[in-house]
Amino acid sequence: MANLFINIKSYLFLLFFKGALLTVEHVKDDVEISVEEGKETILRVSEHVSFTDVNSIVRYLARVAGSAGLYGSNLLENTEIDHWLEFSATKLSTASQFLSAVQELNHCLSLRTYLVGNSLSLADLCVWAVLKDNNIWQEQLQQNKAPVHAKRWYGFLEVQRAFQSVGAKWVSGSPKVKMVRFTWILWRE
């Protein structure tokens, strides 16, 4: 059994938290999940092992639910996904670097449907989650000024069921609940 307790008081954490929620939506067939109130951000895997960083949490979940394919299919894809997780937590989340980060994202997506490989990955989930609540990005979308490839990719993901489900739980960067606690029971055969 693994427990994840999440405190959503910080706006920056909220951006990354949506990536965790999207990951949960994609692994819930492999991992039993229940939601309760909690006070801290931690994935407790065992008495001696726990994770407090959202990117570490989503990596762990993707690895546990390997059949979901969210962490890629080889070492190169694993590394590319790690790159985009770091990108979402640094460049894309820093106001002074945001516009150049979106241009980098746009360039990467010029000939791709997904950020890594030929299917949805943690990279897509976490980068999309940061864009979802970024005011500059939302303004670019509304004014039809968002870079074309990034806009196409964002729109493609936004209409998918899991993204709509997570989006419905949040209103303009504010969670509908103040704190969430996930209790995960991991079933393995």
- The predicted-structure confidence for 163-180, as pLDDT tens digits, reads as follows 888 766 654 444 443 334
Look at residue 44 in the predicted model and tell me its pLDDT: 73
Which residue in 167, 159, 131 sits closest to 123, CA to CA? 131
Within the chain, residue ranges assigned H as helices are: 11-27, 54-64, 75-89, 98-108, 122-132, 135-142, 148-158, 161-168
Residues of the chain short of pLDDT 70, as ranges, are: 1-17, 32-42, 167-189
Look at residue 175 in the predicted model and tell me its pLDDT: 43
Look at residue 45 in the predicted model and tell me its pLDDT: 75
Domain range annotation of the chain: 2-186
Look at residue 100 in the predicted model and tell me its pLDDT: 98
Look at residue 11 in the predicted model and tell me its pLDDT: 42
Per CATH, is 2-186 categorized as 1.20.1050.130?
yes
54-57 long-range Cβ contacts below 8 angstroms, 24+ apart? 54/13, 54/16, 54/17, 54/19, 54/20, 55/16, 55/19, 55/85, 55/86, 55/89, 55/126, 57/4, 57/20, 57/23
